Structure 1
Amino acid sequence: MTAMKRFIDFNDERVDADERLRHERLARALAGEPELRLTERKLLEYNLPDHEMAMSVFWRHRSAEIREAGRLSDIYLLAAGFWTGFDLAAWRDFAGRSANHPLRNLLRQTVLLIEEMRLSDAVMKERPGTKEAFNIRREVYAGQHGAQLPINLRHGHPSDALFNHFHLVLNGAGDDSLGEISALADPVLFLGFDSRSTRDSIRVVERLAPILEEHLDQDLIRTYYAIADSFTSTRSGFHYHKGVKTAEAGEEGEKDTIQEVFRTWHGASQSEKGPHLDYELEHGRIGKSDAGSSREGRAGMDVQSFGRGRSVADEQTGRGQSGTGSGEAGPGEWRQAKGFGSENTGVVFRERVAEPDREGDAGQKTDEWRSESAPYVRAIEREMKKRIERKREDRRDGLPMGRLSGNPVDILLSERPKPFYRKQRPSERLDAVFGLLVDGSGSMADKLQETKKAVLLFHDVLTALAVKHGIVSYQEDAGLATKERQPNEFLWLHRFADTGKDDSGRILAWEAGDDNRDGFAIRWMTRQLGRMQEQHKFLLIFTDGEPSAFGYGQNGIVDTAEAVNEAEKKGITIIHLFLSAQPVDERQQELFRMMYGNRTASAESLSRFSDETIRILRKLLALVASAD
């Protein structure tokens, strides 16, 4: 569904897909997690259920140099610092003991501040190349906290002002504007420079706690770190540091890391995916049922039959109406999306073949459109046949073996004669296959006629040249989509196996649906094309805007760009054609370049959509015909 013209234009943030993918690959490499997702939120944080980590929006709207360095420093901290260096056992223990403390937020945020400084130093020591990014980070944040300190004092937020001061002190830019409390707290805070573990950082804050309690009666107003929110327990009862004996006992206990928790969570969530209410009765159980024909069962007995449960989701999506009983989905059955990218883990999908439109009006419209496009179809057909014929007649001369040339003088005049030639192997047809994805979202409703006309033209040209092709409309059911389940449907207007078949009736029967999950659709069609044996593979996409589906949003732009890159690496050429009633503006062009690179085109108006389709087809077919 298009989202190009938003009412609140100034709030229309765009994500740079290439930049996000580059950063995500870096995060995955540092963390050693190939399925880790990277997103952007107000504060640094981890999201266990979605297996993602979030950079901060703090770096937006800054110079390109600062923005890049800041985001890189976020990734270094998330994927190389806190990822393996933050002791979750120590943190949970401290969070539980401080749950009822009147300054618990200030205490917890100060621990995380000291931890950021400790872990950033550790990352810089291990990876010297990160120093520049961290130096810029510290300089920018020091400026931010320095500016906020007097504002917080003026507004009566002493705890926030003190936290600003702590940040400046740990960055070597402290001041004496807070008087007695800073004079008492700073010497203790300086111990944070010697922290070697999370427990060391906690000990420093526990020694700070009595000083803070004596001078402050108000906790933090703002939150500066959300990085440990997913791992914080709620046990009560705050106790001050009890000495070395207790600390040593804690060090010997279990030490979790964020990496370990992520892997455990992800492994568990992976095992739970798929249809949850399908049951196999694998064991007999001693006892009798109410059924008269039942018999006593015992553990270890062979399975006599299988049963399947039904859920509300099954009723909504139609699952179970035509089960195959084999464990694999049959035609029209819903399947769980696996291996289609991290943004599509909750997707279920099915494939259907469109019913042809057999009304008299449809046949008349088909004849009219074909009458208009016939000259173009014949022109392309003649051009491609000439290219194929020319290729047949071409021959290679000067070969050491083959057929003897009609002029054998080369044998007498040359020291190493090559008087032979070979004819090119005749080409019966173009060695290519085309896949066409048509956006089936609701925003296409006012563009159906021109889109159908262009799709029919595409179908007629390739049918005339006997080129294998598949045409599919894709859409997501917005009414049934939830966080756990997003039903997507692929409607075949022409199947790859139906080469030579006239499917104009199916094309004219196509109607618009709800949403469009482009990255998922591209990966699905990439799999279809991957099964084909043709040398040249092309995937065309007709859309009228950016991806729009449940929970997709800006991540859909990144997911689509990633899907395009994956397809290109598999030798599939992707061409995007934007359908709009108005000329494309600069922002729209920039968005499409993010997703499709330089392989995107647009029609100046709806009436020019078929012309643009012809231009693209002619260019691609000529490329195939001229290839060796």
Structure 2
Amino acid sequence: MTPIKRFIDFNDEQINAGERLRHERLARALSGEPDIRLTERKLLEYSPQSLEMAMSVFWRHRPDEIREAGRLSDIYLLSSGFWTGFDLAAWRRFTGEMERHPLENLMRQTVLLIEELRLSDQVMKRRPGTRSAFAVRRQAYADLHRNQFPVNLRHAHRADALFNHFHLILNGSGEAPAGEITALTDPVIYSGFDSRSTIDSIRVAERLLPILEGRLKKDLLHTFYAIGDSVADRRSGFHYHRGVKSGEAGEEEEKETFRELFRTWHDANKSEKGPHLDYELEHGRHGKSESSSSREGRTGMDVQSVGRGRSAADEQTNHLPSAKEAGQAAVEWQRAKGFGSENESVVFREREAAAVPVRENKDTIREWRNESAPYVRSIEREMKKRIERKREDRRDRLPMGRLSGNPLEILLSERPKPFYRKQRPSERLDAVFGLLVDGSGSMEDKLPETRKAVLLFHDVLTALQVKHGIASYQEDAGLASKESQPNEFQWLHRFVDSGKDDADKIMALEPGDDNRDGFAIRWMARQLIRMPEQHKFLLIFTDGEPSAFGYGQNGIVDTAEAVNEAEKSGITVIHLFLSAQPVDERQLETFRMMYGNRSATADSLGRFSEETVRILRKLLALATSMD
């Protein structure tokens, strides 16, 4: 779906998908958690429920070398420092005691400041190569606090000025300004250098508290750390299955580190999707239902119907009703497994497009085929010539094969190779093509040009007897929720229907709601991987960026990751952007982040078919040259 161009430019800021994937792989390697997701928020943060850790936006809009070093330092702290070195039990006890205290935020932030210093020193000791990144980090934050200090004093934000002072002292970035409070707090805050555990850091804050009570009337206004927010509630680290009674749950030992907390959430979420939560109701009981058609139950009564409770496992085959499905046969929904971390809540189904042989469509198909006939014949002749040339080519100077016309080489050469061999004849190209067509709502005004380009793609490959599959994809925005995002693939031409004319199905292409591109690419890649052909190509026609429930900018990263996975599987991915307006540099950069140098654009809707022919010609030539 084409993004909205916002009035304020920085609101339309895009992430660098390649950079984000590289950073995410580093976070996964350091944490030892292959399913962890990396995102970007205002402050450093963990989200166990969604298996996410967040870098800070503090490093945006800085020189490249500073931005890179700063983000690396965030990752080192998140995945190697706080990940295993932060005592969650001690933190929960401390935050519970400080709840609703007048200086609660100052005390929490001071503990996390000391912990950052302690854990970054530990990371640098274990991994000396991280020192340069942490040096950049400390300098950048020292500049921030040094500049904020006089501003906070001028506005009488004494707690904030004191925290700026604490930061400068602990990072060795400046002299301590003289003052009544600092003269009392400095000896205590200096003891933060001796902290060896989270408990030690908490003790420093507890020693500061009596000094500051009565001297500071207002708490800290600014927040610099959000790392402990996700576990402030002492029960937030434990998760019960839905439907378990509180009396049956019992007590579980508290998790001590973020790593253990994340794995608990991950295991619990996995177990909720298992079949053990399926249940059947086969008992009558005394009582009266709220239904007007019900009757009172009696123990021992025969079961007249069987009900089935809903669980996450049911979503694999449960039919999700929609107004669009009225009058259609029910199709089973499947739970998406192994389609990337951004698509764990996706359910999907496949169905075949219903051909509608309307007279107007027949006339349109005939007209388009008359226009495209020269292109089809031209490509067909070119590919047949290439194939014929491959048949006639032969390889000389081989140690075995047919004897060449110059047998004297056997006598004259020390290591004779007088044989040759003809290339193996080929009746058709050893290639298979998959085409994905964006079925989002924004494609509605581009449907005629899209149908025409898809029909041309179908005709060219059919004429060359090349196996291909064509499917549109869309997500139902009306039914999408955090727990379930229904996606549908509509087959316009199946791989098994080689030689079949599916023009009527292509004309049935209609727009839907949203587009989850990364998921669709993985789905089509799975179809292609199963094909026996040597050369595999995946084309995707879209009119903008991915847009679906909870996808947003993460969809750009997910799509780039899906493209990388397909390429590693031996599939060549080509993207063609369809737009009714001139393409700006920002859109081109976004597509380059997702598809690399294999993204093409049509200057206008009228040239979409021409661009399709150009891409097909190049890919077919590539397939023949590699045979």
Q: CA deviation at 1:625?
A: 1.1
Unmatched tracts of structure 2, length 5 or more: 236-252, 287-296
Q: Kindly indicate whether the alpha-carbon contact (under 8 Å) linking 2:438 and 2:472 is maintained by their aligned counterparts in 1.
A: yes
Match of 1:196 in 2: 196
* C-alpha spacing 1:223/1:525, structure 2 compared with 1 (3 Å): same
* C-alpha spacing 1:433/1:255, structure 2 compared with 1 (3 Å): closer
Q: CA deviation at 1:277?
A: 7.4
* C-alpha spacing 1:20/1:102, structure 2 compared with 1 (3 Å): same
- In the TM superposition, 1:39-54 aligns within 5 A as 39-54=39-54
Q: Is residue 2:546 matched to residue 1:547?
A: yes
Q: Distance in 2 between matches of 1:518 and 1:277?
A: 32
- For residues 530-567 of structure 1, give each alpha carbon's deviation from its aligned partner in whole angstroms, at most 9, with x where no partner exists: 11111000000101111111111111101100110011
Q: Distance in 1 between matches of 2:202 and 2:518?
A: 44
Match of 1:167 in 2: 167
Q: Distance in 2 between matches of 1:70 and 1:159?
A: 26
Q: Kindly indicate whether the alpha-carbon contact (under 8 Å) linking 1:162 and 1:178 is maintained by their aligned counterparts in 2.
A: no
- For residues 255-293 of structure 1, give each alpha carbon's deviation from its aligned partner in whole angstroms, at most 9, with x where no partner exists: 700100000111101222378974368x99999975654
Q: Distance in 2 between matches of 1:215 and 1:368?
A: 85
* C-alpha spacing 1:192/1:255, structure 2 compared with 1 (3 Å): farther
Q: Describe the SS at the equivalent of 2:461.
A: helix
**In the alignment, residue 433 of structure 1 is paired with which amino acid?**
V
Q: Describe the SS at the equivalent of 1:264.
A: helix
What is the TM-score of this pair, normalised by structure 2? 0.90
**In the alignment, residue 378 of structure 1 is paired with which amino acid?**
R
Aligned sequence identity (%): 73
Match of 1:589 in 2: 588
**In the alignment, residue 335 of structure 1 is paired with which amino acid?**
Q
Q: Kindly indicate whether the alpha-carbon contact (under 8 Å) linking 2:284 and 2:301 is maintained by their aligned counterparts in 1.
A: no
Q: Distance in 1 between matches of 2:598 and 2:438?
A: 17
Q: Describe the SS at the equivalent of 1:49.
A: helix
- In the TM superposition, 1:175-574 aligns within 5 A as 175-177=175-177, 179-233=179-233, 256-273=256-273, 278-279=278-279, 292-293=301-302, 308-309=308-309, 316-317=320-321, 332-574=331-573
What is the TM-score of this pair, normalised by structure 1? 0.90
Q: CA deviation at 1:479?
A: 1.2
Q: Is residue 2:144 matched to residue 1:144?
A: yes
**In the alignment, residue 166 of structure 1 is paired with which amino acid?**
F
- For residues 98-149 of structure 1, give each alpha carbon's deviation from its aligned partner in whole angstroms, at most 9, with x where no partner exists: 1132211111110001000000011011111111111111111011011111
Q: Distance in 2 between matches of 1:476 and 1:102?
A: 48
Match of 1:23 in 2: 23
Q: Distance in 2 between matches of 1:132 and 1:381?
A: 59
**In the alignment, residue 170 of structure 2 is paired with which amino acid?**
L
Match of 2:292 in 1: none
Match of 1:609 in 2: 608
**In the alignment, residue 481 of structure 2 is paired with which amino acid?**
T
RMSD over aligned Cα, in angstroms?
Answer: 2.6
Q: CA deviation at 1:448?
A: 0.6
Q: Is residue 2:156 matched to residue 1:156?
A: yes
Q: Describe the SS at the equivalent of 1:226.
A: coil
Q: Distance in 2 between matches of 1:407 and 1:233?
A: 88
Q: Kindly indicate whether the alpha-carbon contact (under 8 Å) linking 1:55 and 1:71 is maintained by their aligned counterparts in 2.
A: yes
Aligned length: 593
**In the alignment, residue 620 of structure 1 is paired with which amino acid?**
L
Q: Distance in 2 between matches of 1:198 and 1:134?
A: 20
Q: Distance in 2 between matches of 1:309 and 1:196?
A: 51
Q: Describe the SS at the equivalent of 2:15.
A: coil
Q: Describe the SS at the equivalent of 2:507.
A: helix
- For residues 431-472 of structure 1, give each alpha carbon's deviation from its aligned partner in whole angstroms, at most 9, with x where no partner exists: 000000111111111111111100000000000111110001
Match of 2:12 in 1: 12
Q: Kindly indicate whether the alpha-carbon contact (under 8 Å) linking 2:39 and 2:52 is maintained by their aligned counterparts in 1.
A: yes
**In the alignment, residue 34 of structure 1 is paired with which amino acid?**
P
Q: CA deviation at 1:336?
A: 1.1
* C-alpha spacing 1:462/1:306, structure 2 compared with 1 (3 Å): farther
Q: Distance in 2 between matches of 1:475 and 1:596?
A: 20
Q: Describe the SS at the equivalent of 1:475.
A: strand
* C-alpha spacing 1:178/1:368, structure 2 compared with 1 (3 Å): farther
**In the alignment, residue 359 of structure 2 is paired with which amino acid?**
G
Q: Distance in 1 between matches of 2:276 and 2:554?
A: 27
Q: CA deviation at 1:483?
A: 1.4
Match of 1:118 in 2: 118
Q: Is residue 2:83 matched to residue 1:83?
A: yes
Q: CA deviation at 1:360?
A: 0.4
**In the alignment, residue 259 of structure 1 is paired with which amino acid?**
R
Q: Kindly indicate whether the alpha-carbon contact (under 8 Å) linking 1:317 and 1:334 is maintained by their aligned counterparts in 2.
A: no
Q: Distance in 2 between matches of 1:100 and 1:178?
A: 30
Q: Distance in 2 between matches of 1:294 and 1:279?
A: 15
Q: Kindly indicate whether the alpha-carbon contact (under 8 Å) linking 1:557 and 1:595 is maintained by their aligned counterparts in 2.
A: yes
Q: CA deviation at 1:192?
A: 0.4
Q: CA deviation at 1:156?
A: 2.2
Match of 2:242 in 1: none
